[in-house]
């Protein structure tokens, strides 16, 4: 994440003083001398650990890895988030503190430590200024057409990842981390800006890759496509080399090193005009998965719908998480979903809260994933100064109401179960996307091609999503996996904004249609990128567009007119409009929605989404009146987890444009057992007696704890170290309890015996 805090850290470094939860877990056999040595195996389907993130099982150390966060700092009371893991950012030593000391400060507090750093930028001035090999390398920065370098910070350019840079990176930023006993490495944000591609370093890579001299990308669509394709290749190569080295060197040190890529979604990178390997990494041999870097800053990027350009944070976040989850689902890799209670741009606390709730809800609507990065940069969240309100210039630290609510939410993630439940709405509609979405992006239209706000993608997705259809994503790169197709009945696709990377991808789509798939293809296929020198017009192929190749496989004539065509057990509905026309014009999406209705026969168009995950109830109501403007009312016995006071409700009404996160008290599996149902803290050392319940509650300092505790009877006596407030709700049999948090723990003892 491009955090202002991270930029500040990089700049300052140059100064002279520098209950029950279904979950996937990992099991480690640890050498005595290494805290984080790992031999990964799958465990059984259930694991209950409400007291600690590590425990012994048959002499082996079982480590929960459901939740994590990233920080460049050492442990301190204000940032003791209490997730299972911590990713310590950056391998450099600092004045008065070595990297190993930073790592040890978190280990001393019971955390399993992982490592994160940037692959495309970072605190690597010793490389750029010649301290590493005696030569300056600032010429390896990404440069724009005017010759200006794109900077991430002072003497921190976005990098053209040369082989020399990779040698440095492995020696200085991977090797010492493994030497410190860390066995999970996260290399974030492999980013090459679409507006770059003019440096001497890039020109050298062009000659090596294509075998002919560099061409200025702005001069033609083909040059743009080739330039961005090379950028994609360079960071695929960089990650492949770095991960191969990490795993090889790790084995030499007795470690099973896992390697992950924290990255924005393909959807966001394409919209922000950044090129990255994205979906291709899901099948890279030495890549174990991703962090889906989705947060307010990415999801509030405006898009078009019904002719209106505006922010649609919930809808965009839902598509971003879906984009990331669909990359790993067919390849059985791991993905952590990230949310951020604030964002990089300075806003006010209510703005942060509203958008955080939207992205948080969106991530939980994917019930087959329960790995989470609960926040990045806790220092800036807990200690940063932001506007008190929209109409105030006063800057304050995080308000207590928001820190309490946030901690309730992130502690729920520690207990969030997987679920076989489906998100409400008509299932089986997916949108096709490919890495080549990024290849057609440029700062200005090229040969007449323009795709404002990535509308050729949103034109296929938003009309259905706004009608309550939980649209899925299919990646062209994954079409060769049978698992990719299992939940898709209708595929919405276009080659107006992307192109298939090989003929095989078209062949997989055609085979899916032949087996009964319903394809809706939208596109005029007249953009300049159709004519780039690629596989569909090379060798024995002489197609005017990649779509003509696809159609030929299904017996459809080239440049076919709009209509419906049968192929095998399936069919193709061809719409001769570019998808952007469905959203950039008012009421322009009728051809698409009619086609989906034709394909499915019955479609449940509505204005909300609902999902049950264990005892958690999630809901979102859509605005803009695509179907209805009615609110959604849920009835039951709920704890409102978006309310920092954790009230017990008989009903909850969600208005259009809002979301809800509720704990359903009626869904508790063992209501006679005393238990903490919701809290702005994490509980340890729980002890249940015949008529008593005790635990230790931990959370960051200078925050307020609010909790709901289920008890068989009204408490007779409550003991809390320090002052507290409490009340009893007889209808729900829950105790409301509030006190000040302490990272070292607050002991709570409750007696509820007969009076």
Fold classification of 429-600 (topology level): Rossmann fold (3.40.50)
Note whether 89 and 72 are within 8 A (CB). Answer: yes
Q: Read out DSSP for 506-564?
A: HHHHHHHHHTT-EEEEE----SGGGGSSSGGGSTT---SSHHHHHHHHTTPPTTPPSEE
pLDDT of residue 44: 25
**Per-residue pLDDT tens for 451-509?**
999 999 999 999 999 999 999 999 999 999 999 999 999 999 999 999 999 999 999 99
Confidence label for 364 from pLDDT (cuts 50, 70 and 90): very high
Contact (Cβ atoms closer than 8 angstroms) between residue 195 and residue 161: no
Residue 92 has pLDDT above 80, yes or no: yes
Q: Report the distance separating Cα 605 and Cα 596, nearest Å.
A: 11
Is the pLDDT assigned to residue 562 strictly greater than 60? yes
What pLDDT score does 615 carry?
97
Instruction: Give residue 60's pLDDT.
Output: 52
**pLDDT for position 755:** 54
Tens-place pLDDT, residues 419-461: 999 999 999 999 999 999 999 999 999 999 999 999 999 999 9
Q: Tell me the per-residue pLDDT of 394-415, one tens digit each, with 9 for 90 and over.
A: 999 999 999 999 999 999 999 9
Which CATH superfamily hosts domain 4-413? Glycosidases (3.20.20.80)
- pLDDT tens digits along 125-139: 999 999 999 999 999
Domain boundaries, the chain: 4-413, 429-600, 608-667, 675-751
Q: What is the pLDDT of residues 672-729, one digit of tens each?
A: 999 999 999 999 999 999 999 999 999 999 999 999 999 999 999 999 999 999 999 9
- pLDDT at residue 155, rounded to an integer: 87
Residue 298 has pLDDT above 60, yes or no: yes
17 pLDDT higher than 90: no
Q: What's the whole-number mean pLDDT along residues 134-159?
A: 95
* Statement: the pTM of the whole predicted model exceeds 0.85: yes
Contact by Cβ (8 Å): 574, 547: no
Mean pLDDT to the nearest integer, 550-560 = 95
Question: pLDDT tens digits for 648-676?
Answer: 999 999 999 999 999 999 999 899 999 99
Question: How many CB atoms are located within 10 Å of the residue 629 CB?
Answer: 13
* pLDDT score recorded for residue 14: 36
pLDDT for the residue numbered 655: 98
Residue 24 confidence class, pLDDT cut points 50, 70, 90: very low
pLDDT at 669: 86
pLDDT average, residue stretch 735-753: 97
Percent of the chain with pLDDT over 70: 92
The pLDDT, as a whole number, for residue 48 is 28
Give me the pLDDT at residue 54, please: 54
- The total number of residues shown for the chain amounts to 755
What is the DSSP pairing of strand 717-720 with strand 682-688?
unpaired
- Hey, what are 559's tokens? 């440049």
Cβ neighbours for 209, distance < 8 A, ≥ 6 positions apart: 230, 233
pLDDT band at 624 (very low <50, low <70, confident <90, very high): very high
Reply yes or no on whether the pLDDT at 228 is more than 60: yes
For residues 553 and 50, the model is more confident at 553
């Amino acid at each position: 994440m491009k955090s202002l805090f991270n930029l500040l850290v990089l700049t300052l470094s140059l100064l002279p003083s520098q209950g029950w939860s279904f979950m996937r877990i990992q099991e480690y056999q640890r050498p005595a001398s290494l805290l984080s040595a790992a031999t990964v195996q799958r465990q059984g389907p259930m694991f209950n650990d409400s007291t600690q993130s590590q425990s012994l099982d048959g002499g082996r150390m079982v480590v929960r890895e459901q939740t994590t966060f990233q920080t460049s700092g050492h442990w301190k009371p204000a940032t003791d988030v209490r997730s299972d893991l911590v990713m310590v950012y950056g391998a450099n030593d600092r004045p008065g503190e070595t990297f190993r000391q930073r790592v040890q400060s978190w280990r001393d507090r019971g955390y399993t430590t992982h490592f994160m750093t940037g692959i495309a930028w970072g605190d690597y001035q010793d490389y750029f200024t010649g301290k590493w090999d005696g030569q300056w390398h600032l010429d390896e920065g990404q440069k724009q057409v005017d010759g200006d370098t794109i900077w991430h910070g002072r003497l921190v350019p976005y990098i053209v990842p040369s082989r020399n840079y990779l040698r440095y990176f492995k020696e200085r930023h991977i090797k010492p981390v493994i030497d410190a006993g860390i066995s999970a490495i996260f290399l974030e944000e492999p980013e090459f800006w679409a507006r770059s591609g003019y440096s001497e370093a890039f020109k050298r890579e062009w000659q090596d890759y294509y075998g002919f001299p560099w061409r200025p990308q702005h001069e033609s669509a083909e040059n743009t496509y080739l330039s961005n394709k090379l950028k994609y290749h360079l960071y695929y190569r960089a990650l492949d080399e770095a991960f191969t080295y990490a795993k090889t060197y790790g084995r030499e040190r007795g470690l099973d090193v896992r390697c992950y890529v924290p990255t924005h979604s393909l959807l966001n990178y394409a919209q922000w005009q950044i090129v990255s390997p994205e979906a291709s990494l899901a099948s890279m041999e030495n890549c174990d998965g991703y962090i889906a870097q989705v947060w307010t800053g990415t999801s509030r990027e405006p898009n078009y719908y019904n002719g209106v350009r505006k922010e649609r944070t919930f809808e965009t976040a839902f598509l971003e998480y879906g984009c990331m989850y669909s990359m790993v689902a067919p390849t059985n890799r791991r993905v952590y979903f990230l949310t951020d209670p604030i964002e990089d741009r300075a806003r006010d606390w209510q703005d942060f809260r509203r958008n955080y709730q939207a992205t948080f809800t969106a991530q939980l609507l994917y019930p087959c994933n329960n790995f989470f990065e609960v926040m990045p940069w806790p220092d800036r969240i807990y200690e940063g100064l932001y506007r008190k309100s929209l109409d105030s210039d006063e800057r304050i630290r995080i308000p207590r109401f928001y820190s309490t609510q946030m901690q309730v939410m992130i502690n729920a993630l520690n207990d969030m179960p997987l679920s076989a439940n489906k998100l409400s709405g008509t299932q089986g509609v997916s949108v096709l996307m490919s890495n080549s979405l990024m290849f057609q992006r440029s700062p200005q239209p090229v040969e007449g091609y323009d795709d404002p706000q990535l509308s050729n993608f949103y034109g296929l997705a938003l009309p259905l999503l706004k009608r309550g259809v939980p649209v899925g994503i299919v990646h062209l790169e994954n079409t060769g996996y049978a698992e990719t197709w299992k939940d898709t009945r209708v595929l919405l696709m276009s080659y107006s904004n992307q192109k298939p990377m090989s003929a095989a991808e078209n062949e997989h789509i055609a085979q899916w249609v032949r087996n009964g798939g319903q394809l809706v293809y939208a596109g005029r296929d007249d953009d300049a990128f159709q004519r780039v020198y690629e596989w569909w017009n090379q060798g024995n192929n002489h197609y005017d567009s990649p779509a003509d190749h696809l159609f030929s496989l299904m017996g459809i004539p080239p440049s076919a007119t709009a209509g419906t065509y049968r192929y095998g057990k399936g069919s193709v509905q061809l719409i001769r409009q570019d998808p952007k026309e469905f959203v950039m014009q008012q009421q322009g999406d009728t051809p698409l929605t009619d086609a989906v209705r034709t394909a499915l026969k019955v479609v449940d168009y509505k204005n909300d989404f609902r999902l049950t995950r264990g005892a958690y109830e999630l809901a979102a109501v859509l605005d803009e009146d695509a179907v209805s403007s009615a609110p959604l009312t849920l009835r039951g016995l709920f704890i409102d987890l978006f309310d920092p006071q954790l009230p017990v409700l008989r009903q909850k009404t969600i208005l259009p444009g809002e979301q809800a996160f509720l704990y359903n008290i009626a869904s508790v599996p063992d209501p006679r057992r005393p238990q903490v149902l919701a809290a702005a803290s994490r509980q340890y050392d729980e002890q249940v007696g015949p008529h008593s319940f005790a635990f230790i509650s931990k959370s960051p300092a200078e925050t307020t704890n609010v909790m709901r505790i289920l008890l068989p009877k009204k408490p007779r006596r409550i003991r809390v170290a320090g002052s507290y407030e409490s009340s009893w709700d007889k209808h729900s049999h829950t105790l409301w309890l509030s006190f000040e948090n302490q990272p070292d723990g607050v002991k709570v003892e409750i007696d509820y015996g007969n009076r």
